[in-house]
Chains A and B, each alone.
Chain A
Amino acid sequence: MSVLIFVDHADNQVKKSSYEALTYGAKIAEQMGVTAEAIVLGTVSDDLASLGKYGVKKVHHIANDTLNHVDTQVYTKVIATTVTSTGATVVVFSHNQTGKAVAARLSASLKAGVVTGACALPDTANGNFIVKKTVFSGKAFASVKITSPIKVISLNPNSFTTIAGEGVAEVVTVDIAVDPSKIKVTAVNKVSGEIPLTEAEIVVSGGRGLKGPENWGIVEDLAKVLHAATACSRPVADAHWRPHHEHVGQTGFQVAPNLYFALGISGAIQHLAGVNRSKVIVVINKDPEAPFFKAADYGIVGDVFDIVPKLTEEIKKLHA
């Protein structure tokens, strides 16, 4: 028996969300008194033995070039084979774009119950396996019991703190047959330099209060001093002031950073649904009645064009 953690990488480096999944999976293994192992697909330049720091004993590496693009059909077969050969009873993913593509499909192949968007360690007392996940787009939680022998779960990014200790994992290069992909990838466009929204520790978000795309400089400046990702409300994306991938809320990305700045955003229920799991929320809005203040930890009633540049300056001073 073991817990198998799927480790995902981009640009040859292990993703931050995968470190969270590793820490989380290793904790589950500890709780169940079994070992934690990892699986890595495709080419990666990071030293995989160092994944031992997060509590895994063994890393199964299948370094076939076909696996450099995520094809759920190909991935499922390779991971399922590894689950069977290692006797894993729990498979852990991060609920990032790759996890969203692969976890559920794998679960069907293993006839395993799947819970995506887990946000806490499972309750494994009395032979149960109950996982807490976010539902209603972050407005509530559901504790879901998995009754199948094998369990597949994916962990919400930013909901579990990475712990790195000592430890070196044994890396096993596995040579198993990999099917050719039926999906022909013709282009990959990475938004370079930007911090991916779902992985960001700090998010600076702008709403219609910014008045127009030409005013986003102050948002970007603040994000820059904080090493934060930028986001926006839905009408801002709909009006093409900002790209769609910045849209957060019930029908956009759901984020849970340590710190979320809402600049000129009213705080509509659909917006809050996507951001209310942020640990600290700061609201800057000129309307003291804006609903966002009710969901905030800190706030300033004031004009974004006045406050935001000052905020950037003060943070620069702090970092100086």
Chain B
Amino acid sequence: MKILVCVSKAPDTTSKIAFKESNTKFDETGVQWIINPYDEWYSLVRAIELKEKDAATIVHLITVGGADCDPIIRKALALGGDEAIRVNADSNDSYYIAAQIAEVAKQGSYDLIFTGKETIDYNGSSIGGIVAELVDAPYISLATKFDVAATTATVVREIDGGEETSEVQLPIVVSCAKGVAEQRIPNMRGIMAARTKPLKVVEPAAVEALTSVVEYSLPPAKAGVKLVAADNVAELVRLLHEEAKAI
């Protein structure tokens, strides 16, 4: 079984969110970059586990991004995976990114394509579904458990108000949420090995982006907290009822 794991670069969760160039670009000054947590913690680790237990033979990583993604890809390779592919393009458009991934996926005839549940910067939850459509495979979103025996995958996924268990034949596309695996810390051997693993850079296929960000904005600041004394809980209830009209 060949697995393709989609990884993307994301700003560290403590990053200050600010914009530049008349609010049209994310201000990267002082931002630390990390592997998107859903990719790092869940999909990548699960793919590596499947290889460790011989359910998978090959694990490839893919990212669509500029050369600034290379350190992140090396970090991901330090956790595991045989090689990485970087499609040399920078875009926010889900269709554009997914089409690049689908292009590589078709050429590599993968049995399983993993994405994270969402990117923590763009919050699309979109790439997996689009890739699945483009490669014409079943798509299981928001998986919380994933296993595979021969060519049958067993997946538990989140549905509104509960979960659903299903079986499906490979090839498939799966987006991974919490539960699929436990976060791992790369060890020294992994970090050394990652340095020499192949990182192929390929040029993007000609795809038209269907969306573009015209402007970013920040939520209005809160007016400030109204503190109520600890011995006057009734006053809090009154405020929530009469002033905030929230209860």
Interface of A with B (CB < 8 Å)? 8, 10, 15, 17, 69-73, 76, 95-98, 100-109, 111-117, 130, 132-148, 182-191, 194, 196, 198-199, 202, 226, 244-245, 247, 250-252, 254, 258-259, 269-270, 273, 276-277, 279-283, 293-303, 306-307, 310-311, 314-315, 317-318
Q: Which A residue sits closest to B223, measured CB to CB?
A: A297
* B125–A307 CB distance below 8 A: no
* B222–A116 CB distance below 8 A: no
Q: Which B residue sits closest to A315, measured CB to CB?
A: B237
Q: Interface stretch among B63-71, B105-113, B192-200, B212-220?
A: B212-220
From residue 125 to 159 of chain B, which have CB atoms closer than 8 A to chain A?
125-130, 132-134, 137-142, 144, 154, 158-159
Main secondary structure of the interface of A (DSSP, over half): mixed
Q: How far apart are the CA atoms of A138 and B147 in the complex, in Å? A: 32
Q: How far apart are the CA atoms of A127 and B179 in the complex, in Å? A: 44
Q: Please pick, from B129, B132, B137, B164, the residue contacting A188 in the complex, using a CB distance under 8 A.
A: B164
A251 with B98: in contact, given A269-B14, A295-B222 (CB under 8 Å)? Answer: no
Q: Interface stretch among B1-9, B53-61, B83-91, B228-236?
A: B228-236
Q: Please pick, from A108, A143, A191, the residue contacting B161 in the complex, using a CB distance under 8 A.
A: A191
Closest CB pairs A-B (n = 8): A113-B210, A302-B230, A104-B126, A105-B129, A104-B129, A108-B133, A190-B162, A101-B141
* A314–B234 CB distance below 8 A: yes
Q: Please pick, from A105, A116, A133, A141, the residue contacting B139 in the complex, using a CB distance under 8 A.
A: A105
Known contacts A141-B219, A251-B37; 12 further A-B pairs (Cβ under 8 A) = A69-B166, A104-B130, A106-B133, A132-B217, A137-B120, A143-B216, A184-B167, A188-B163, A190-B161, A298-B236, A307-B233, A314-B233
Q: What is the total of A-B residue contacts with beta carbons within 8 Å?
A: 269
Residue pairs across A and B with Cβ atoms less than 8 A apart, 16 shown, are A104-B127, A104-B129, A105-B139, A107-B130, A143-B215, A147-B211, A182-B169, A183-B167, A186-B154, A186-B167, A269-B13, A293-B227, A299-B228, A300-B227, A300-B233, A317-B237
A108 with B130: in contact, given A114-B95, A196-B160, A298-B225 (CB under 8 Å)? Answer: yes
Size of the chain B interface, CB-CB below 8 angstroms: 77
* A301–B160 CB distance below 8 A: no
A76 with B133: in contact, given A101-B142, A104-B94 (CB under 8 Å)? Answer: yes
Task: For residue A204, give the distance in angstroms from its CB to the closest CB of chain B.
Answer: 12
* B214–A130 CB distance below 8 A: yes
Q: How far apart are the CA atoms of A1 and B123 in the complex, in Å? A: 29
Q: Which A residue sits closest to B144, measured CB to CB?
A: A244
Interface of B with A (CB < 8 Å)? 11, 13-14, 17, 19, 37-38, 92-95, 98, 120-130, 132-134, 137-142, 144, 154, 158-169, 178-179, 209-219, 222-223, 225-230, 233-234, 236-237, 239-241, 244, 246-247
Interface centre among B13, B38, B210, B212 (most CB of A within 10 A): B210
A72 with B14: in contact, given A145-B212, A294-B225 (CB under 8 Å)? Answer: no
Q: Which residues of A contact B229 (CB under 8 A)?
A: 300
* A182–B226 CB distance below 8 A: no
Q: Please pick, from B138, B246, B247, the residue contacting A73 in the complex, using a CB distance under 8 A.
A: B138
Task: For residue A16, give the distance in angstroms from its CB to the closest CB of chain B.
Answer: 10
Q: How far apart are the CA atoms of A76 and B5 in the complex, in Å? A: 24
Q: Which A residue sits closest to B241, measured CB to CB?
A: A318
Q: How far apart are the CA atoms of A283 and B240 in the complex, in Å? A: 12
* A280–B240 CB distance below 8 A: yes
Q: Please pick, from A182, A191, A296, A300, the residue contacting B162 in the complex, using a CB distance under 8 A.
A: A191
Q: Which residues of A contact B237 (CB under 8 A)?
A: 311, 314-315, 317-318
